[in-house]
Structure 1
């Protein structure tokens, strides 16, 4: 998850509201101090980076607390969920999980979650193989659909 901070930050800087915010802060500082130094609002850019980075750190910690600290309990003790790892030379290089969608619906789809492949092992078909494993699990357990939620900046995940 943490690898997405730079992409999300750069995307945020392309949004019109971010431009308006920087302009507004610059003008407010200029009007309040009448100093050209106040037009240095781009100093806020590193602060924005730190804010986004801390948001991601909090998100990762929350995800760990909610289900990844105890994979056995969360995924392996239930029949309708599972967790897989891919190994290479004795090291875990990829993970994926499957669990019922958290949204309560009449026919709850299976959620493919936590699909992650180590950088050094990407573009080798590991993510595709793990995805097929989840699809097979879904078929065996009678699910009619599998969902995968991918962020806007995760182009690799979107292609998958």
Structure 2
């Protein structure tokens, strides 16, 4: 039960940070991604500072946490072991980036925006969940991303 309460508190702090930073506002995100607006002065660089702050906190956090023999509320750390770059590693972030650029939402802020974002946030979250389900279904197929065998 304690683990769930801690995770809930962390989620609340994360969500509050998204709202305060403007990351849950698709117009702000799209203004950040609009690099063509730089010469005219319409580009909004403020989210770069949000991202830099998040990277710094994560970098320091990982360094401190991974010095511990085990997680405080868990038995073991679950770190990725794969080191090769494959088509899934390239396609996933590309789809994520295109979706973020088109809609102005990424997954965390989209859930936060459900409380204030209106229909756009609801439609995005529905499309995101359908896309996640479709990706899991495709990945579970044994022939997915396997080389085609020539027919005789």
The structure with the largest helix share of the pair is 2
* Rg (Cα) greater in structure: 1
The reply to whether TM is greater than 0.5 is no
When normalised by structure 1's length, the TM-score is 0.30
The structure with the largest strand share of the pair is: 1
TM-score, length basis structure 2: 0.31
